[in-house]
Structure 1
Amino acid sequence: MSRFEQLLQGRLPKLVMFDLDGTLIDSVPDLAVAVEAMLLKLGRPPAGIENVRLWIGNGAPMLVRRALASNMEGSGVDDTEAELALEIFMEAYDGGHEHTKVYPGVHESLKWLQKQGVEMALITNKPERFVAPLLDELKLGRFFRWIVGGDTMPQKKPDPAALLFVMKMAGTTPAQSMFIGDSRNDVLAAKAAGVRCVALSYGYNHGRPIEEESPDMVIGNLQELIAGCLDSAPEITLGNSVSSSRRDSIVVVTRKLWMKVIKALARWRWRA
């Protein structure tokens, strides 16, 4: 029995939702390069990769404010300067992701879930424009039916709106769903949505142990969730990757459709 089934009373989830940065990929090196390019252009001192590692997780605008303020609060930053800095950062980060790597065990775990017929979604606070191209580069996009970026909806994690939206689109209940992430934002969003949460210990939780957030399970490698299941399962050959144009359309459709279901989600969210 997989650990997925252990969490859901002997059943596999019908839907597994994933965070991206710090969960499936290590993107800190490229984010740090973009932050340093932004600071250099603005005549600011460099931040250092370890500071960037602490600052990420709440979306690009907050990362930029933290870099300008050189603290976690991002306080005391002029709004006009922050807007200019964000434009510079986005342009710099758009230049490439050659230093971003997929964590060990990710491909194997996603392939196994796909073989079991489990639907998968990606919910990230990373700006939407970067997500599909990055997934293409890393050969991950074919696994996800739904992609929600940090600016796809008005709310970002830890707000559960994106999780509730995807469950609505997938036709699943919280009891049939699961969220996998690496940070406090992910755990809070999962709890607010009423779904089980698995947390990766290697991620970007602002320098704090993820155990402090009390997820349902903490693991050090995504493949721990399917330990013992791969030996007896034959290797599968996946079909052609979903084209980037199709996945782009899924993101765009998500942006267009969320307004149509937000009232229903609100009723679901606050239902006694």
Structure 2
Amino acid sequence: MHPILKDIRLISFDLDGTLVDSVPDLAAAVDASLGEQGLPPAGEARVRDWVGNGSWKLVERTLTFAQGHMPGEGALARAHEAFLKHYGRDPGSRTRLYPGVREALDALQAGDRILTLVTNKPFAFIRPILSQFGLERHFALCLGGDSLPQKKPDPAPLLHLAAHFDMPVQACLMVGDSRHDIDAGRAAGFRTLAVPYGYNHGEPVQLSRPDALVDSLAELV
């Protein structure tokens, strides 16, 4: 086992950019919703830099790009509803599991650690994505961006998981691909581990000073 796992009993994983590459499906939904409004598509490359703060923020960034200015609340709410409609129709057909993820989750679960998921993605989309890869059985509890009033980088979701399983924060690890994951983990008192291949708004996740970095989650086991 990787040294970062010493005395760790609960592991919280981010989803998008950590376990799966979901940007192709997110970009398709973004562009479909823009097309409904007669606006130009954003494209996958731009969306890759916009994800990580939940669907509302993604749509806000999308409209700001397409219109050249910040949208009003009404326009943003309508665009967000359209995005959720399109994404809900097909949240996973283009989404891919990153190499090493399945092997890591299998081994960590067999090692009697509690595995949890904490993402800023709306909760309704978590199960469809995990199910298509047969991963839902690995996680004892999943939290979406709308499961609590707060979401990452606020530490509240991580503290909620630790309290739910009656686990001291010193025995918990946050695994993610962005500064929001590392900031949330650090604020919660969790150990932090980063992967460099995900979405971090165009900046190296190493700059967030995680406690450890692995090129693949397979390195954990």
Q: CA deviation at 1:70?
A: 1.2
What is residue 130 of structure 2 aligned with on the other side?
Answer: 135
The letter for the 2-side match of 1:89 is: F
The letter for the 1-side match of 2:184 is: A
Instruction: Verify: 1:7 aligned to 2:4, yes or no.
Output: yes
In 2, the alpha carbon distance for the partners of 1:138 and 1:63 equals: 25
Deviations 1:33-54 (A, max 9, x none): 0000010001111111110000
Across the aligned residues of Structure 1 and Structure 2, the Cα RMSD in angstroms comes to 1.3
Q: In the alignment, is the contact (CA less than 8 A) between 1:15 and 1:119 conserved in 2?
A: yes
The letter for the 2-side match of 1:29 is: P
User: Tell me, what secondary structure is at the counterpart of 1:178?
Assistant: strand
Q: 1:24 aligns with which of 6, 19, 22?
A: 19
In 2, the alpha carbon distance for the partners of 1:128 and 1:7 equals: 28
User: Tell me, what secondary structure is at the counterpart of 1:70?
Assistant: helix
Gaps of 5+ in 2: none
What is residue 84 of structure 1 aligned with on the other side?
Answer: 78
What is residue 193 of structure 2 aligned with on the other side?
Answer: 198
Q: 1:67 aligns with which of 62, 71, 74?
A: 62
Q: In the alignment, is the contact (CA less than 8 A) between 2:169 and 2:190 conserved in 1?
A: yes
Q: CA deviation at 1:109?
A: 0.5
In 1, the alpha carbon distance for the partners of 2:157 and 2:216 equals: 25
Q: CA deviation at 1:75?
A: 6.0
Instruction: Verify: 1:38 aligned to 2:19, yes or no.
Output: no
Gaps of 5+ in 1: 227-272
The number of aligned residues is 219
User: Tell me, what secondary structure is at the counterpart of 2:59?
Assistant: helix
Deviations 1:37-80 (A, max 9, x none): 01000111111111000000000000000000019xx9621110
What is residue 245 of structure 1 aligned with on the other side?
Answer: none
Deviations 1:179-223 (A, max 9, x none): 100001000000000111100100100011011111011111001
Deviations 1:123-164 (A, max 9, x none): 000001111121111211100011100001010100000000
Q: In the alignment, is the contact (CA less than 8 A) between 2:52 and 2:200 conserved in 1?
A: yes
User: Tell me, what secondary structure is at the counterpart of 1:198?
Assistant: strand
Q: In the alignment, is the contact (CA less than 8 A) between 2:63 and 2:70 conserved in 1?
A: no
In 2, the alpha carbon distance for the partners of 1:32 and 1:194 equals: 34
The letter for the 1-side match of 2:153 is: P
Q: In the alignment, is the contact (CA less than 8 A) between 1:184 and 1:210 conserved in 2?
A: yes
Question: What is the 5 A alignment of 1:155-234?
Answer: 155-226=150-221
Q: CA deviation at 1:7?
A: 2.5
Q: In the alignment, is the contact (CA less than 8 A) between 1:14 and 1:177 conserved in 2?
A: yes
* Greater Cα radius of gyration, structure 1 or 2: 1
What is residue 88 of structure 2 aligned with on the other side?
Answer: 94
In 1, the alpha carbon distance for the partners of 2:36 and 2:84 equals: 13
- TM-score normalized with structure 2 length: 0.96
